[in-house]
Chain A
Amino acid sequence: MDQTTRVKTKRETAAATQPTGGFEDIILEQMPRLWPVALRFCRHHELDAQDLVQDTMIRAYRYRDSLSVADNKFAWLRRTLLNTHLNRLRSSKRWDDRADLSLAEEIPSFDPMPTSGLVTDAFRKDLWDDEVLRALDSLPEIHRTVLLLADVEGLSREEVAEITGHPKGTVSSYIFRARKKLATVLEQYGLAHGYLKDEDLKREQAGFIEAMENASKMGAM
């Protein structure tokens, strides 16, 4: 064994004996829950998701003392992963705050039509799997991200605002727009592929308008 190898082995041995507080155990335990989150935010590109997870682990290792005392280790790691992802997006210029501002129109004071129940029902069907992902990927990055954070990860408006660095009101607008856009994309897909029928949608719409008119007559509006 030459000198270099001997030194390297000593160094590795010394590093390996540093106390880590079961860091690897925590990581191995949480990875099955963390991996789908990474995949979702990386548009299901495995290599990107792997890069993201690795960057997250470097950060997590640096702050492992905080992780070891965290009550909810998954939430801690997910938060670190999301912050890492957003930082990567910003540095890759895919997250253009100035361009995104134009997408943050205020929530309209009156949204007359709810999302079609027919779209929701069709959306739940298994045969829409890939289309759901494609529909989601067709949204602008900011809309896609806030939708995932709020509706898939279940974060509060305050948490989404903190992670994205946007005011809470702006986040609410983004979420509203993202849901509407996703519903529109799915409806168009459903119509084009025969999962939805135009006359059914019109009938449903007419029923809702009638309900609104009745409510108006009763003085609720």
Chain B
Amino acid sequence: MDSVDLEHFLVIGAILFGIGLYMSLAKRNFVGVLIGIELMFNGVNLTFISFSRFVESAEPLNGHIFVIFVITVAAAEAAVALALAVLLYRLRDTINVDQIDLLKW
């Protein structure tokens, strides 16, 4: 583990976050956007875990606890989002986010 230290994990986390961010802003498909957001969450999770492992802290476990909660929240998020997506598809026959612009200005 000598050659792999905190920075590497953080960089991976940041890259994951960045990919997710790009996806969520660029994908037209609603599910794609959702996956992008999930990726962002996972980038964050990786960051938390690695901090938890490497940083001098009075609360070393907090990072792990955080990650578990974030995973749970992300699952709930997906549930709500997919429910809305199904409804969207039924109402409008599309799940392309760039076509939902009824509300504007």
Tell me whether A and B are bound partners.
Answer: no
Q: Which residues of A contact B (CB under 8 A)?
A: none
